[in-house]
Structure 1
Amino acid sequence: MKKIKCECGHVNPEGTVLCEACGKPIEENQHIDGNDKTKLINMRYDGSARRSLTYNRSIIDKIWSFFSSVKVGVWLIVIALVASALGTIFPQEIYIPIDAVSRDPAIYYEDQFGVFGKIYYQLGFYDLYSSWWYMLLISLIGISLVICSIDRVVPLHRALKMQKPRRHETFINRQRLYSESPNISDEEKQQVVNNLKKLRYKVRSEEGHILAEKGRFSRWGPYVNHIGLIIILIAALLRMTPWLYLDDYVWVREGQQVVIPGTDNKYYIKNKEFILEKYDEDDKRFQDAIDRVGGEVHKNYQTNVIIYKNVDATIPGAEPKLEKVLEDKVWMNHPLKFDGYTLYQSGYQQNEFSNMSFKIYETNDSDQKALETFTIDLTSPETEYEFESGFRVVIDKYYPDYVLDKGEPRSETKFPRNPAFVIFVYPPNTESPEISFIGIGKNIDATGENKFKLGIVDFETHFVSGMTLRQDYTLPLFGLGALVFMIGVVQGMYWQHRRIWIHPNGRSILLAAHTNKNWFGVNKDIEKAILGTNIQMVVDQQEVEGYEKTKEVHNE
């Protein structure tokens, strides 16, 4: 690494713009004439060397320079925002309704959204937020933030650490705010120092040279922002891991006990009772809402549940040994919490069929006297029923939620909401079946020659409760990242790093000032500090007629 030695004797790293010790411009890096006092010096990072602007030899240097660019970081964020927006056009795979005919994305998206849904699936947008390229994009943003921060925070730290009251005269007279005052007494100089202390400046001196400084901590604001963003990105990546984030859905019928998905068979839930309450139509307080909705308005739906823990969950294939954890109720906006999980009441289905009872009777029997009766469990129907009388019934096709689609029967969902059957009835001592199609409001003789007919005798219905299970250990990390980010915003927005130098030059005083922002504020501070003295007010050399601004070249 090439070292640059200043006339003051300090050895600076390659790429340094201003000497770290005395502030004298390194002319080959300033690209201006050292005797030209009409040009302002480059005060970015106080002239300290940045790695990305100094080295460009190896592949590591080129990668570092690429990711240290603010433009690259902004473009990565824009691409991530566009990709995130694309993921909201249609529901993500995890939000495919549990009662969909098919939860296979290849079928669901085309069936629900047509050709656009098919394209959406083929492009992989159906599981965008868990895709490898989206995770890579988030990771690249994190890498860019880290490299951007390191590339800038190291020279900034070195520059702030080397703040000295005594600076080279060229450093002073090339500051943006500058004045020269002849014949200034030591008393007037001390008066200015006292006034600066009253303005809460930290004043240091070295052989008559004065540096008054305040608000240095504000320079770290942007890097605190970066730390907050990095924490948020880490939380987003960790949310893709099942042991830190879980979002699943379970349907459980009244009286049914099922394993809670996502818990590795560790927890079970039993729907003890579902309660649905409606607003009284005679209650005038809610009449406007009832009229506006044009139907039933429910004021509450809740599930009384029992949560069990499987104490033998670690043994594969073992019969679950359940212990009762708690018994409670879950209703809208009042979730149930247990062992780090949160259970929400998210939906319900009413009047879902539990079972249906049928009878077999002779077609010519006007009294429809039952020859045989049988009951089909609609959640897990048997395929065949045999009777001592010789009758045999075979369920050929079962449509839990029957619809007629372009002349073809199919099931709209897998839940028994409108059950229909194609049933083969084998009379005694007969090998040829009679075919019937039967459902709610449907009883069709397939051939028109059946001697025996089926009829619905009875049925039972139940409520089904839809519940969302969530477990999220990343929320505290998101909150911490947001808090750190806001601290950085406040730190960098409401404070400024202000520096005022007093440089003795014989009986004259050189006064100069610099701030990272809010030049009006530092001007006002100087006005108050020199009040009552003969020290000249600083002028803004950037506005002086004939001034040509130095072009600062940055690889941004």
Structure 2
Amino acid sequence: MLRKVYDFFSSVKLAIVLLLTLAVTSIIGTIIEQQQDPDKYLREYGETTYKILKFLGFTDVYHSWWYILLLTLLGINLIVCSIKRLPKIWKIAKQPRKTLPEGAEKSLKVSHSITLEGTGEEIKKTVTETLKKLKYSTEVSLEEENQTHLFADKNVFARFGVYIVHLGVLIVLIGGLVTAIFGYRGYMNLSEGTSSNLVSFFSGPKIIELPFYVKCNKFTIDFYPSGMPKAYISDLSIIENGKEVYRKKIRVNDPLKYKGIYFYQASYGQGEVTFHIKRGNKRETVSVAFGQPLKFGEGTYLRIVSLDGRTMTMGIEFIQDGKIEEGVIKPFAFYKVPKTDVTFAVVDFKPVFYTGLQVSKDPGTWIVWVGSTILIVGLIVAFFIPHRRVWARIEKKGERRVRLVIGGLTNKGTEGLARELEEVLRAVKSSYCPNTRREEQS
């Protein structure tokens, strides 16, 4: 049973299926806007299609359970594939045959045989020095009375290029999982002078409380003569422990970043309401922009989402214990918040502009960048750096006559290996046999 599971996860076919599935679902996540307001999906796709998309998780692909599962399966597949094939690559890289027996040169991609005038010691020294100049690590693998064997290795790490690629992909997947599990995208609506630490998700009732407050000091918007927005700028401050710790004017594509959280200038709207709130004996007045939640208790929020200009009634979303209830309230009427001692009333409305901020936390970004860098390095190693090996057999044929048999193997770029062996031959020929013809070449 375990063997079958192991073979399943070590399958290349599984990797291809997972990659294709992730590619298709990522395309879907690109075509369908993610984490948008349900009303937008209803307008664009209709109720039936929206329900299908939401059920399948296509409105929030990258945080869906099945997308996280696909990433996890691909990660397991990469690990198991690497473990399964590593012993063979390790043996090739670290346990090579280091001698060149008689006739073995015929199995090499490039080989030469030449007779030289000189001693075996002289030829050995010249061949070794030339290979070292070509960045080979050389050694005498066998030395006997009538023959000497040399072994040279270069870029042995290139054999592990594919594993560097696998490591890079695995780290990228981990970064994606970290973002999918711990990251989020949401929004804040802030009118001038208001601040909040509440981030609403684009769909669903989830609201996140930031460990600091964001304040809109000023919001400026310019329009073209046609009425289309030309530019909008938000002057924002980060308030922590009651003090301003950071301030920046943001524009489209120029966000504010604080503690790994990005605040993008995304939209604008009109409408600010002022609440009069009673909490036991305490009273306070708070102003918030339309769409921005107001906290009444643990897990209890309310936000104004619409205004009927004729009756001045306001549409609300009441969020408690992870559930949304829609309703209507009237100004100057007090309402009690269920399960709390809080009562509230809307006492003022202003048709002022508010800034719409997209709030994004992507804790896996730096992990993805590290993984991408390792992936690129791995691809360079795997595709552009060859692992080359050279064997040489120096045979004594007389008092000052030596036969040199030299050849090599490479996992890529045979032409480069051939040029290097030619350089070795030129070095020995120039010193020991300027007029001797090569006997064999293959």
TM-score, normalised to structure 2, is: 0.69
Residues 462 and 512 (structure 1), Cα distance of their counterparts in 2 relative to 1, 3 Å cut: same
1:253 & 1:196 partners in 2: Cα distance? Answer: 73
Partner of 1:250: 188
Deviation, 1:82, is 1.2
1:381-429 CA distances to partner (integer Å, 9 max, x unpaired)?
xxxxxxxxxxxxxxxxxxx9xxxxxxxxxxxx9333x633399xxxxxx
Give 1:324's aligned amino acid: K
Give 1:498's aligned amino acid: R
2:125 & 2:249 partners in 1: Cα distance? Answer: 73
1:335 & 1:73 partners in 2: Cα distance? Answer: 37
Query: Which structure: greater strand fraction?
Result: 2
1:509 & 1:343 partners in 2: Cα distance? Answer: 71
1:54-81 CA distances to partner (integer Å, 9 max, x unpaired)?
xxxxx33333333333343223211211
1:379 & 1:151 partners in 2: Cα distance? Answer: 58
1:274 & 1:168 partners in 2: Cα distance? Answer: 82
Partner of 2:213: 268
Residues 494 and 134 (structure 1), Cα distance of their counterparts in 2 relative to 1, 3 Å cut: same
2:375 & 2:414 partners in 1: Cα distance? Answer: 25
CA contact (8 A) 1:530 1:537 kept: no
SS at match of 1:464: strand
Residues 326 and 200 (structure 1), Cα distance of their counterparts in 2 relative to 1, 3 Å cut: closer
1:88 & 1:334 partners in 2: Cα distance? Answer: 22
Partner of 2:152: 212
SS at match of 1:154: helix
Deviation, 1:463, is 0.7
RMSD after superposition: 3.4
1:327 & 1:160 partners in 2: Cα distance? Answer: 54
Which runs of 5 or more structure 2 residues have no equivalent in the other structure?
200-206, 275-287, 292-302, 314-347, 398-402
Deviation, 1:518, is 0.7
1:124-161 CA distances to partner (integer Å, 9 max, x unpaired)?
32232222222111111111211222222333223322
Partner of 1:113: 45
Partner of 2:110: 177
| Match status 1:139 vs 2:72 | yes
2:249 & 2:384 partners in 1: Cα distance? Answer: 46
CA contact (8 A) 2:191 2:272 kept: no
1:259 & 1:378 partners in 2: Cα distance? Answer: 13
Relative CO higher for 1 or 2, CA cutoff 8 Å, sep ≥ 6?
2
Which of 89, 102, 108 is residue 31 of structure 2 equivalent to? 89
Partner of 2:172: 232
Give 1:519's aligned amino acid: T
1:480-516 CA distances to partner (integer Å, 9 max, x unpaired)?
1111111112223332111111135664544331100
Partner of 1:285: none
SS at match of 1:530: helix
1:80 & 1:489 partners in 2: Cα distance? Answer: 21
Residues 142 and 461 (structure 1), Cα distance of their counterparts in 2 relative to 1, 3 Å cut: same
CA contact (8 A) 2:392 2:406 kept: yes
1:75 & 1:221 partners in 2: Cα distance? Answer: 23
Task: Give 1:24-423 correspondences, 5 Å limit.
Answer: 59-92=1-34, 94=35, 96-97=36-37, 103=38, 109-114=41-46, 115-169=48-102, 171-181=104-114, 186=120, 187-188=122-123, 190-205=125-140, 206-207=142-143, 208-242=148-182, 245-261=183-199, 263-264=208-209, 266-278=211-223, 295-296=226-227, 300-309=231-240, 323-326=242-245, 328-332=247-251, 333-350=253-270, 352=271, 414-416=305-307, 419-421=309-311
Which runs of 5 or more structure 1 residues have no equivalent in the other structure?
1-58, 98-102, 279-289, 312-322, 356-376, 381-399, 401-412, 424-457, 540-556
Partner of 1:26: none
2:235 & 2:126 partners in 1: Cα distance? Answer: 78
Deviation, 1:116, is 4.1
Deviation, 1:233, is 0.5
| Match status 1:523 vs 2:442 | no
1:166 & 1:257 partners in 2: Cα distance? Answer: 77
Give 1:264's aligned amino acid: E
Deviation, 1:527, is 1.7
CA contact (8 A) 2:155 2:387 kept: yes
Partner of 2:278: none
Partner of 2:441: 538
1:165 & 1:66 partners in 2: Cα distance? Answer: 37
Give 1:113's aligned amino acid: Y
Residues 241 and 331 (structure 1), Cα distance of their counterparts in 2 relative to 1, 3 Å cut: same
Deviation, 1:522, is 0.8
Percent sequence identity over aligned pairs: 27
CA contact (8 A) 1:235 1:474 kept: yes
Give 1:269's aligned amino acid: V
1:259 & 1:191 partners in 2: Cα distance? Answer: 75
Deviation, 1:172, is 4.0
Task: Give 1:475-494 correspondences, 5 Å limit.
Answer: 475-494=365-384
Residues 269 and 511 (structure 1), Cα distance of their counterparts in 2 relative to 1, 3 Å cut: closer
Residues 131 and 272 (structure 1), Cα distance of their counterparts in 2 relative to 1, 3 Å cut: same
Residues 334 and 224 (structure 1), Cα distance of their counterparts in 2 relative to 1, 3 Å cut: same
Residues 526 and 308 (structure 1), Cα distance of their counterparts in 2 relative to 1, 3 Å cut: closer
1:137 & 1:226 partners in 2: Cα distance? Answer: 16
CA contact (8 A) 1:260 1:267 kept: no
SS at match of 2:306: coil
Instruction: Return the index of the structure with the highest Cα Rg.
Output: 1
Residues 159 and 353 (structure 1), Cα distance of their counterparts in 2 relative to 1, 3 Å cut: closer
Partner of 1:513: 408
SS at match of 2:226: coil
1:157-207 CA distances to partner (integer Å, 9 max, x unpaired)?
233222353255465432333445568753555544443333232221121
Residues 296 and 340 (structure 1), Cα distance of their counterparts in 2 relative to 1, 3 Å cut: same
SS at match of 1:237: helix
Deviation, 1:238, is 0.7
TM-score, normalised to structure 1, is: 0.56
Residues 189 and 273 (structure 1), Cα distance of their counterparts in 2 relative to 1, 3 Å cut: closer
Residues 66 and 184 (structure 1), Cα distance of their counterparts in 2 relative to 1, 3 Å cut: farther
Residues 379 and 489 (structure 1), Cα distance of their counterparts in 2 relative to 1, 3 Å cut: closer
1:270 & 1:237 partners in 2: Cα distance? Answer: 31
